[in-house]
A and B are shown apart, each in its own frame.
Chain A
Amino acid sequence: MAETKSIIGTQNKKGQTYTDAWKLLNEAPRTPSFFTGSEVIKEAIRRASCDVMIAYPITPQSEAAALIGELFAEGYVGDYFRGESEFAVMSQCAGAAFGGARVFTTTAGPGTMRAMENFPMWAGSRLPIQMIVTCRGINSPLSIQPDTLEIAYLLNTGMLVWHAETAQDFFDWILKGYMVSEEPDVHLPLALCCDGFFVTHTKDVVNLTPADMCLPPYDPYRSPVPCMDMECPPVRMMRDPFVMKSNYISYATHASWQQEIWAAVERSRKHSIHWLNGLIDAENTDTDIMIVASGTAVSQGREAIRMLEDEGVRCGLVKVKTLRPWPEEEIREATKNAKHIFVPEFNVTGWLAKEIKATIPNHHRVHAGPHVCGGMTMPPEIIVNEIKTALGMKKSFVMAGRGS
């Protein structure tokens, strides 16, 4: 059963000191390191006190998944194996989390889609699994290139969904993610998304916490639902299976269970604000023109803003960090002065623009674009052009091969 004395300050078998998570992430010294995003995932998991990691190869997350295998071989992860498909892997993750383990996995694109049936089950079973999603194309014809369309499918699963911009976000958010999703009043899985290749395969300077400090272990007895380990009384754990009865009480029970999942997503808001220093970052919100974006589209937006400033056009920026919980109030407030809101996205449907349109008053202010997809890059010039076209200004750039 639950430990009664604090584990903080004691050491694990690798000699790492269990450290208060807030101190680890906010006060411990940081060392600048030059790493790929995949290597950063490994470094975060080295410090995450993970019990079980289950892997499956799919580009562009294969490298990260294999690197965590090395961590297992070194003794930093309790158990690790390659599953047979993403559907199976996500079920194996569920089993491990039901058994009280802190669980980590990674997937991408078609793998996310194959595993999809598991995600509402994870949320419904209140399993605080963390899944890295290194987004890539999902539709035919086959593409392994970066594309964020799969995030749209995750938004209604009941999982927390965060969208990292940089490798630094990744490092911090993997560790912070466990702290939010394991809170007893949340206790939900987290899909921590990034744009594949752009983040996973490029090198960046990332400030790492000391390798000899790690997160406190997961305590499954803080879960709002019982851990399936026969360490507490096993009587009628689930009551009647709701779906199997056709009567009002079964419908009402199922309905209230679902409402509770989404209430838990809402309750994650305060914890996410605490750990991420807000659900959004906003700059220059007094301007007429705003760019609202998530993932690497934020970086491209920032560059476009710099280029526009050179031409005397001021433009503000909102970086959306969490998609679930959705920062409705924050986005309303940050865009209240804007006459034009641009939403650059790495996907064909523009799901982020739709979310924003459903959130703010006078949604005709939203210009859904520019969009790139199928692995196309998003040079800041096309954002600049999109903005200038909408404002009736002369375009600054001729973009070869982009029909302009």
Chain B
Amino acid sequence: MSLSYAVSDSVVITRRHLKHTTRIPELLFFSVMQPIIFILLFTVVFANAIKIPGMDYKNYMMPAIFVQTMAFATTGTAAGFADDLHKGLIDRFRSLPMARSAVLIGRLVAEAARNTLTLFIMIGAGYAVGFRFQNGLLPALGGIVLLVAFAFAFSSIGTVIGLGVKTVEAAQMAGMIWIFPLTFLSNGFVPMTSLPGWLQGIVRYSPVTAMNNALRAMFYGHGQALASPALQSVVWIAGISVVFLFLGVRQYKKAAG
């Protein structure tokens, strides 16, 4: 009984957030504009400055921009929860006899749908500047699924941030400030070998590096075996999701205003 409520309540909340997407088109607009600007900037400015052996730089960095954009899902989720908390909606939901996890799951599912849309728009923009899938349809779709799952994991981090800070602004900052270091300290924009030795040791184990490697293998058939980086990515995604959803639900239950 409680499981079926968890599902049906989540569906109600997902519908709420999907409606938001159509009611606040500017939000979708800006969340899509940012990665498009990135794609154009990097391909125009750095395309000839950075040489990657055996690969066009555009294709090299495109997965990293996808990963970075998905990581930014944290900010939206954090700000959304902080806003709900601030406006008393979390209190309203907590006073209802609904499933405790539904407010979180419902939002994360809606955001996964939104992120999928963002991703397809980015792929379109990528195609306009010369990015191409070179390894067939199925691996490409597998990569897209992996990216959406990655965004889900990072959204679940945003849950904990959003329910933990006092204001929307603080949630936005706390959701964003570590994303750039995290995504740039990877092999996403420059090859690992160009980084200082001590940094390579850290970057090697970054979830972002695992994602980059997995996506390059899936999109271009580039690099060694796919299995290892894909497996690492999946483990990271599952680990982050489980830990932060657990913390998020716990925080939701006692969210104080």
A binds B: no
B binding-site residues for A, Cβ under 8 Å = none
